[in-house]
Amino acid sequence: MLRRRRKGPRPLSPHEAGRGTSRSHRRPRADAEVPPELVLTPESVARTRKPAREPQPQEPPREKAPAPGREKPQAPAREKRAARGAQDVVLVTGFEPFGGDDRNPSWEVCERLPGEIAGLRVEVCRVPCEFRRAIEVVAEAIERHRPALVVCLGLAAGRTHMGVERVAINADDARIPDNAGMQPVDEPIAAGGPPAYFATLPVKAMVAAMRAEGVPAEVSNSAGTYVCNHLMYGVLHYLAASGLRARAGFIHVPSSEEMALDKREAPSMALATMVRGVQAAIAAAHGKVRDVKLADGALD
């Protein structure tokens, strides 16, 4: 008789136990220095994790096979995966209003996303428009949900297209204060960190998929120097340093039509169009690891 091998959690190394994270097959980057503000302590991680499950009763005896012609209908494979908790997750984040506005389409898009996209369970996170705190909130969400993809959204008023960002730079240069009154000027996001990070999502494949759905989209080579760039850099820096396997990127959205009602000649886009674009981008990012060749550079 074959004996079933008992499965149990493997012991964590002292380095892993100190970070309060689970074992990952990806090694942390040796040259990625993490500022103290971005390091999650075991106490902060414990606050975000779900409580341990209560002991489950013993498995009841298996049911006898049904008589011929009375077989039970088979559930779809996707439902089986969801029931086992094996479904991958995409974490989508959006910002709270800032700069005197009473709404932010990046979060409004998150609220309108379906619960599942391309087989990925969708989890959303509302991010404060605050330097440093924005990274902490998303890092906690990453630890809680352990997503396969992280897609951050932010508002870029004045743009006519949805912009899939290619790169984030290690610089804060705020033209206006954030919602906490902070206004860093010419300061690094992570002292000693790389000058820049490229998105680990297939940005051109995402743009192509968005355009195929009739959504105006383009590759953007500048995420700015405000909280959007700050968050994109911080998330990529955190993932590189922690060894987590999630791929991440950032999409800027234009103003919504509601925001442009009293602003003459201000470009805008319908929220429904933005939602369709984000869905197409996520599906493309999930389906492709390597990017496609697409001439979508800028001359300016």
Catalytic residues: 165, 228, 252
Residue with tokens 């996303």: 113
Give the separation between CA 55 and CA 235, rounded to whole angstroms: 36
Q: Strand 120-127 and strand 116-117: pairing?
A: antiparallel
Question: Can you read off the two tokens belonging to residue 291?
Answer: 């990017």
In 88-118, which positions are buried (b, 16+ CB within 10 angstroms) versus exposed (e)? ebbbbbbbbbbeeeeebbbbbbbeebeeebb
Question: Can you read off the two tokens belonging to residue 125?
Answer: 């996170």
Give the separation between CA 27 and CA 46, rounded to whole angstroms: 23
- In order of 91, 94, 143, 145, the CA distances from 79 in angstroms are 20, 28, 24, 19
In the chain the beta strands, taken as DSSP E runs, fall at 89-95, 116-117, 120-127, 149-155, 162-165, 167-169, 172-173, 185-187, 196-198, 217-220, 247-253
CB atoms within 10 A of CB 18: 12
Give the separation between CA 294 and CA 250, rounded to whole angstroms: 19
